[in-house]
Chains A and B, each alone.
Chain A
Amino acid sequence: GAVVSQHPSRVICKSGTSVKIECRSLDFQATTMFWYRQFPKQSLMLMATSNEGSKATYEQGVEKDKFLINHASLTLSTLTVTSAHPEDSSFYICSARDRKSTDTQYFGPGTRLTVL
Chain B
Amino acid sequence: GQQLNQSPQSMFIQEGEDVSMNCTSSSIFNTWLWYKQDPGEGPVLLIALYKAGELTSNGRLTAQFGITRKDSFLNISASIPSDVGIYFCAGQNNNDMRFGAGTRLTVKP
Contacts and interface: CB of A to CB of B under 8 A. Distances in A.
Interface in A25-75: 32, 34, 42-46, 49, 59-60
A103 B3 CA distance: 19
Interface string A70-106: 0000000000000000000001010101000011111
A110 B88 CA distance: 16
Contacts of A93: 42-43
A109 interface: yes
Contacts of B48: 103-104
28 contacts: A4-B42, A6-B42, A34-B95, A42-B101, A43-B102, A44-B88, A44-B99, A45-B1, A45-B99, A46-B97, A49-B95, A59-B1, A60-B1, A93-B43, A97-B95, A102-B94, A103-B30, A104-B45, A104-B48, A105-B45, A106-B45, A107-B43, A108-B42, A109-B41, A110-B40, A110-B41, A110-B42, A112-B40
Majority SS at the chain B contact face: loop
Interface of B: 1, 3, 30-31, 35, 40-45, 48, 50, 88, 92, 94-95, 97-102
Majority SS at the chain A contact face: strand
A46 B40 contact: no
Q: Which of B3, B30, B97, B98 has the most CB of A within 10 A?
A: B97
A24 to B, nearest CB: 13
A92 B48 CA distance: 23
Nearest to A1: B45
A43 B43 contact: no
Q: Which of B3, B45, B101 has the most CB of A within 10 A?
A: B45
Contacts of A60: 1
A68 B2 CA distance: 24
A41 to B, nearest CB: 8
B29 to A, nearest CB: 11
B35 A107 contact: yes
B18 to A, nearest CB: 24
A46 B41 CA distance: 17
Nearest to A49: B95
A106 B48 CA distance: 12
